[in-house]
Amino acid sequence: MANPSATSLTLHPVIRELFRLKNMAKKDVEEFLSWDLLSIPELVQLKGLPEASTRIIAAIQRGEKIGIYGDYDVDGTTSCALLFFFFKSISVQVEIIQPNRFDDGYGLHSELIDRALEYNIGLLITVDCGITNTQAADHAREKKLDLIITDHHQDIAESMPWATAIVNPNRRDETCHQHLKGLAGVGVAFALALQIKNDWEKAFGKKCPPLYPLLQFVAVGTICDMAPLNTTNLRLARHGIKLLKNSEYPGLRVFITAEERAWPMLPSEKLSFNIGPLINAKGRLEDAACALKLLTADNPEDGRRLYQQLENCNDDRKFIQSKIFKEAKEQIRREMINGEQNISIVYDPNWHEGVIGIVASKLVEEFKVPAIVFANAKEEGLIKGSARSAGELNLLAELNKVSDLFTKYGGHRAAAGMTLPKDKFHQLYLRMNSSLSTIPRSLRTIADQYDLEIKASDVGPKLARDLELLEPFGVDNQRPVFKIRDIKLDSFEVMGEAHVRWNFSALDDPMVKLRGISFNYINKWANTAPSELFSLQNKRGASLEIYFNLGINRFKGNEYIQLQVRKIDLA
């Protein structure tokens, strides 16, 4: 990855100005840029870890069969893989169980508790789920199956579930460092592995193999699950991404091309737009088992075969998602005729449940407000929804206000899921719109904002490379948005049917040329067509203002500075 020894003094002036605008003092900047894992809050301070580890060590000593139960999304799947390889490193075989999105739904289920017993599992460890599944936990107790719950979701049930131990930085009585409350499920799984390592070495009197390589799974799960990138998660993810580039795990290595291995670093978008969606693809349309088999593969041949299956499935997912997104947009546009939308809430009985979360995210991007997308649930009369937030809105807090409408729900401030009786859909629509109308619009929408206005002459290799020191980008560490005025559109090219490549020049210095690209620009809500922009600019003699992210496009050994254009306005 980028140079971990960089300091604020060596950064491009534009980046120093970004930090100044955030009121970050020199020590804050050094803390943000640091890669030092030794100075992050101790992961083993989480409540429940000693009890969990003690029970696991006892299971190992007694030869009990241990099961890992993980959610079917990328966070749950990477958590399962992390613990699989950890236990393998200490010669302990584990059985992994994952629910099926369509047959079981999210979380811990009584039916799968029974399956664990059929597998002769004596101790079941959940990852990335379980904190709200009190009924399933009671079923485990009735069946005399010891249960350890590790999770990171909000503890919102009436009471915490029964378990031998509960490890969750967001459990109601947790007093850990604030940064640890932002751990993804895979970060909590890593903390468990660290505690077990310490206790295992004492119990068995020998050294445990290093856990450092497991940070690759932490990086993928943390970024793809949209965990907040505080300095703790940043450091865990930075080291994980650094290792990922030349991964020794066959199931991770297959995601990285030979060209990418030659890059100085992998961008966070590689994880969030390539690795994560492929891991999620099977679980969205069929069963997640293929993704888990890939991540736990022990040879390159299996890795390549399973990867191809995920790619094929992901192509199917894209096709289905595109159709649903188009239909959802039409629903919303019809509703917008009746007034301003505070939230997009849509439903169709024919939509595929597996992609509604992605469609919700795309609707937020399109209309700049929160979104909930519903499809039919397996149970008659129920519909299942996936929600995504916008701006600074705490989505889970808003759902708590209408929780009487749901048969079940859960999530965190940025994303959530719920099940709702179909006949209460309109009621949810009215109550959510009413509730959000009392919150300032600036806190519940994605505004067309930018971080800093710069000059066209500021754009260059130094700025582009120094921006990579801020990686990985994600929640609470967004890629900076820049604005430049007095720009002329020299030419454009529509690629496919959706993307646009732009060529700009600076009006005050026509020798300054900028190249950019806008993905999915055509037909996007409120976007002016490229031909119209070009025509209006020339007719009025007006200049343009462009809003963009700045990056480096690496292709076949060459590097190009590229503007990722988000918005273009006539000045």
pLDDT beyond 90 at 336: no
Residues with Cβ < 8 Å from 481, sequence gap 6 or more? Answer: 449, 450, 451, 547, 548, 549, 566
Among 180-194, 276-290, 373-387, name the one with the lowest average pLDDT: 276-290
Work out the angle between the directed axes of helices 74-89 and 185-204 (0-180°, nearest 10): 10
pLDDT in tens, 46-80: 999 999 999 999 999 999 999 999 999 999 999 99
Convert 495-515 to b/e letters by CB count within 10 Å (16 or more is b): eeeeebbbebbbeeeeebebe
Backbone angles phi, psi at 417, to 5 degrees: -135, 155
Position 86 confidence tier, pLDDT thresholds 50, 70, 90: very high
b/e for 77-91, b at 16 or more Cβ within 10 A?
Answer: bbbbbbbbbbbebbe
Question: Per-residue pLDDT averaged across 514-542, rounded?
Answer: 88
For residue 341, name the pLDDT band (cuts at 50, 70, 90): confident
Model confidence at 458: pLDDT above 90: yes
Assess whether pLDDT exceeds 70 at residue 210.
yes
CA torsion 320-323-326-327 (nearest 10°) is -100
pLDDT of residue 2: 46
| Residue pLDDT, tens place only, 446-457 | 877 899 999 999
Q: Which of the residue ranges 3-17, 102-116, 273-287, 552-566 would you say has the lowest mean pLDDT?
A: 3-17
Over residues 532-543, the mean pLDDT reads: 86
> Which pLDDT does position 3 carry in this prediction?
46
Mean pLDDT over residues 339-354, rounded? 91
pLDDT above 90 (res 464): yes
Model confidence at 230, in pLDDT bands (50, 70, 90)? Answer: very high
Which regions of 234-273 does DSSP assign to beta strands (E)? none
Percent of the chain with pLDDT over 90: 84
pLDDT at 449: 84
What mean pLDDT is reported for the chain? 94
Taking Cα atoms as reference points, which of 152, 148, 160, 157 lies closest to residue 180?
Answer: 152
**Predicted confidence (pLDDT) at residue 260 exceeds the cutoff of 50:** yes
Residue 287 has pLDDT above 90, yes or no: no
Residue 22 has pLDDT above 60, yes or no: yes
Instruction: Please check the confidence at residue 1 and state whether its pLDDT lies above 50.
Output: no
Average pLDDT on 370-383 reads: 95
Q: Is a pLDDT exceeding 90 seen at residue 105?
A: no
Give the pLDDT confidence of 393-450 residue by residue, as tens digits.
999 999 999 999 999 898 888 889 999 999 999 999 999 999 999 999 888 988 778 9
Tell me what the mean pLDDT of segment 507-534 comes to. 90
Please provide residue 18's backbone torsions phi and psi, each rounded to the nearest 5 degrees.
Answer: -60, -45
Residue-level pLDDT at 338 = 61
Mean pLDDT, residues 466-486: 96
Token pair of 440 as six digits: 């300032």
Q: How many residues does the chain have?
A: 571
Least confident segment among 125-134, 251-260, 522-531 = 522-531
- The predicted pLDDT at position 27 comes to 95
Left if phi > 0, otherwise alpha if psi is -120 to 50, otherwise beta: which for 226? left
142 pLDDT above the threshold of 60: yes
Q: What DSSP state is assigned to residue 469?
A: G
Q: Which structural domains are found in the chain, ordered by start?
A: 35-308 (3.90.1640.30), 340-444 (3.10.310.30), 452-570 (2.40.50.460)
Which comes out higher in pLDDT, residue 285 or 248?
248
The model scores a pTM over 0.85? yes
